[in-house]
Structure 1
Amino acid sequence: MTPPTLADEPIDEEKLDELVGMAVNELGAAYYAPLIVIGDRLGLYEALADGGPLLPVELAERTDTVEPYVTEWLAAGAAGGYVTYDPETGRYSLTAEQAALLADEDSPAFLAGGYQGLLGYQQSLSEIEADFRTGEGVGWHEQDEDVCHGTERFYRPGYETHLVTEWIPALDGMDARLRAGARVADVGCGHGASTIIMAEAYPDSEFVAIDYHDHSIEAARKRAEEAGVADRISFEVTTAKEYDGADYDLVMMFDAYHDMGDPVGVASHVRETLADDGAWLLVEPFANDRVEDNLNPVGRAFYCASTMACVPNSLDQGGDPVLGAQVGEARLREVITEGGFTRFRRATETPFNLVLEARP
């Protein structure tokens, strides 16, 4: 018996209409993504938050931009619910919530950096499309610079909100140890946001910021100097399997471990460099263990980013195994214990993060 084909299946017009409506909504959202980046770069959201309600011409004057572009940009934002429009006055403004999302870089809800990273990913679209067939990868060092900058801006507000106040206290005895003076390695530090936050909070501890990407380390060093904590941070350009040092009280990895090509080898090296009574803090994108439990807006965003950046980087480094950004706690436990750790637990969590602790 010949199996049925798509052509043989009747179309449910109601379901089709629903699907088309969803797709049109998402098409508009996709078109709006670059406008968020433009508004972020040109200071349009910030000016609107500080000075609104404004007419398009007034916002253009405040930001040294051109009115026709600003007019369409404002209407697009209002159509999507990111900007507020008053039809009686023709003026636009941002609510406190809209400003927290798009105008306040210190807000834990700030997401403009995520859109910056999204546009950066798209610069590698053709290469990653080809890699779907070849199995090759694209390293973080090969991505557009907006990927690194956007990723740092996306994650940093969460680190500033939770790292010192919640995540470190969730590690048994670690807060007191850091206050007394500890040795800490921040592996895969990127632009150094997490290292700087820790160095500011624990001035008696010593930190090593480690990343294989030399340009990221340059940015991290500059930002540490600007923050006034360069005297307590040293920097090392190397991989997570080769960094120097021993007897670290704490090794940290923030949203980086799942990107690595040899996660078992990395875990083994962390174990070798960690003091016998030390701890490994892993902050990973929030994920449940089963795919069906990650089919939600947060899981979707991380699966998409994983396809464009995390899996390509892992494959570029050999990919054995490839974890991806939605790997989940159970699989992480398997890989990390295979690397030599005997104790592993979920210390705490947020809607965007799993906060995990491994000990020898």
Structure 2
Amino acid sequence: MTTQTTQTSQTTEEFAERLLRSALGAFEVLSVHLGDRLGWYRALAGHGPATAAELTARAGGHERYAREWLEQQAACGILTVGEDGRFTLPEGAAEVLTDESSLAYLAPLARMIAGAAAQTPALLEAYRDGGGVGWAAFGPDVRESQAEMNRPWFEQALPDALAGVPDLDALLRRPGARVADVGCGGGWSTIALARAYPQAVVEGIDIDGPSVELAVRNAGRAGVDVVFRHGDAHALAGNAYDAVFAFECIHDMPQPVDTLTRIRRALRPGGDGRRHGRGHRRLPHRARRRHRAAAVRLQPAHLPARRHVPPALRRHRHRDAPRHPAPLRGRGGLPRRRGPADQRLRVLALLPAAAVTVRAREPSPERAGGGA
């Protein structure tokens, strides 16, 4: 049987147009990075329309460059300009660019791309010689932007998603349940778990020291009592946890199977897993294995699950690559981030429970469009 693949070829002009549009979009994203880091978007959102002189008086900066930036932002349709020469940030754009609690908040994406692009020379060397570019090389721009982009989903959607899994929810509500969050980054997932399940003992673990320091600061400002540790999954004690989570990180690791193996070993035996331990012991051997460590994936219902990576492809990973994280985090050397409420956020939870696939609830129009 012959399988035919139909491809739509592009003419020279069409491909040139495509590449030009992409280049213009890239510069637009970089201009968003400028407006975000200089505080100009927040000044416009908080104090209304402004000229270049008024904007720099509010938020600082050089008036000449502020004028260039305002005109560019109006030309590409982000800002509007009135007959009086003042520039306005429309309400919809203001939420995306300034509302840190909104599920549509995307300003950190521009910062992430700028920070990742700065490592292009290192990426070129990795492509030439093998190896990779470690997470620490990206610095605060990528580290902090990823944490801030994930934060709204963790704070607003994660508790409801977990509550929609009865077995998992009951396990996490047990007094003294011990929970680990591997690859916690800036700590917002750990903080959300601790808030949702105040009787659980929650700790975050990350191999990046500055991320752990950032997580400690975030937890302190949030007033949440959680513990953060510097290390990887090898630091997890055996048979010590009721549930182990890994948010937005397994897919970035050069040795994910090793990490998952360590996580599984860290789980307590199924006796205390769910409901009653005695019932677990009466299960057949195969059922006990499934019961002991089940995978739970949370993702919006309209997106398919991630495809399994064949062993033949896994063998091509460079053996000398850093253990965590992978080379540049994502396709084309840019960090992976699939956006706010309408895109996938991969979640992995290992817990003593029956295997179950979970679909995260889609946000209501009210919540998707505004803050908490």
TM-score with structure 1 setting the length: 0.74
Distance 2:222 2:318 in 1: 33
Match of 2:49 among 15, 34, 53: 53
Does residue 253 (structure 1) correspond to residue 264 (structure 2)? The answer is no
Unaligned runs of 5+ in 1: 1-10, 292-310, 327-331, 352-360
Alpha-carbon distance in 1 for matches of 2:109, 2:319? 18
Closer, same or farther: CA 44–30 of 1 in aligned 2, 3 Å:
same
Alignment pair present for 1:164 and 2:170: no
Q: Which residue in 2 is equivalent to 1:228?
A: 223
Q: Which residue of 2 aligns with 1:271?
A: 264
Following TM superposition, by how much is the alpha carbon of 1:318 offset from its aligned partner in structure 2, in angstroms?
Answer: 8.6
Q: Residues 330-351 of structure 1: CA distance to partner in whole angstroms, max 9, x if unpaired?
A: xx9xxx9xx9999654311479
RMSD, matched Cα? 3.5
* Larger mean Cα displacement after TM superposition, 278-287 or 39-48: 278-287
Query: Aligned-pair distance for 1:255?
Result: 0.4
Give the equivalent residue in structure 1 for 2:321: 315
- Do structure 1's residue 98 and structure 2's residue 109 form an aligned pair? no
* SS of equivalent residue, structure 1 residue 152: helix
What residue number does 1:29 align with?
A: 25
Q: Going by fraction, where is strand more abundant, 1 or 2? A: 1
Task: Give the aligned partner of residue 241 of structure 1.
Answer: 234
Q: Which has the higher contact order (CA 8 A, sep 6+)?
A: 2
Corresponding letter in the other structure for 1:79:
A
1:346 to 338, 341, 357: 357
Given the alignment of the two structures, is residue 195 of structure 1 paired with residue 190 of structure 2, yes or no? yes
Q: 1:319 to 1:201 in 2, by over 3 A?
A: closer
Shift of residue 141, structure 1, vs aligned partner? 2.0
How much does 1:282 deviate? Answer: 5.3
1:193–1:220 contact (8 Å) kept in structure 2 = yes
1:322-333 pair list within 5 angstroms: none
Q: Mark the CA change 1:344 to 1:75 in structure 2 (over 3 Å): closer, same or farther.
A: farther
How many residues were matched structurally?
306
Amino acid at match of 2:69: W
Q: Which amino acid aligns with 2:121?
A: S
2:167 to 162, 173, 177: 173
Deviation at 1:168, TM superposition (A): 0.7
1:142 is aligned to 137
Q: TM-score, length-normalised on structure 2?
A: 0.72
Which residues of structure 2 form unaligned runs of 5+? 1-8, 275-293, 309-316, 337-345, 363-372
| Conserved 8 A contact 1:252-1:280 | no
By how many angstroms is 1:161 displaced? 2.4
Cα pair distance change 1:141/1:323, threshold 3 Å: closer
1:160-205 deviations in Å (ceiling 9; x for gaps):
221112x212323333433343211000001111111222222211
Whether contact under 8 Å (2:242, 2:267) holds in the other structure is yes
Contact 2:298 2:358 in 1 (8 A): no
- Distance in structure 1 (CA, Å) of the matches to 2:323 and 2:299: 19
Worse-matched range after superposition: 75-84 or 202-211: 75-84
Give the direction of change, closer, same or farther, for the CA distance of 1:159–1:34 in structure 2 (3 Å limit): same
Query: How far off its partner does 1:55 sit?
Result: 2.2
The 2-side partners of 1:79 and 1:240 are apart by 49
Displacement of 1:236: 1.8
Comparing 19-28 with 39-48, which one deviates more in the overlay?
A: 19-28
SS of 2:246's equivalent in the other structure is strand
Residue aligned with 2:242, SS: strand
Using the TM superposition, give the Cα deviation of residue 145 of structure 1 relative to its aligned residue in structure 2, in angstroms. Answer: 2.3
Q: Is the 8 A contact 1:259 1:313 kept in 2?
A: no
Contact 1:117–1:151 (Cα < 8 Å) also in 2:
yes
The one-letter amino acid of 1:133's match is R
What is the DSSP-based 3-state SS (H/G/I as helix, E as strand, rest coil) of the residue aligned with 2:234? coil
Secondary structure of the residue aligned to 1:189 is coil
State the shift of 1:19 in Å.
3.1
Deviations 1:111-137 (A, max 9, x none): 111111111112221111111122211
Mapped contact 1:255–1:283 kept (Cα < 8 A): no
**1:133–1:140 CA distance, 2 compared to 1 (3 A):** same
CA offset at residue 138 of structure 1? 1.5
In 1, Cα distance between equivalents of 2:145 and 2:329 = 22
What is the alpha-carbon distance in structure 2 between the residues aligned to residue 312 and residue 92 of structure 1? Answer: 51
Query: By percentage of residues, which structure has more helix?
Result: 1
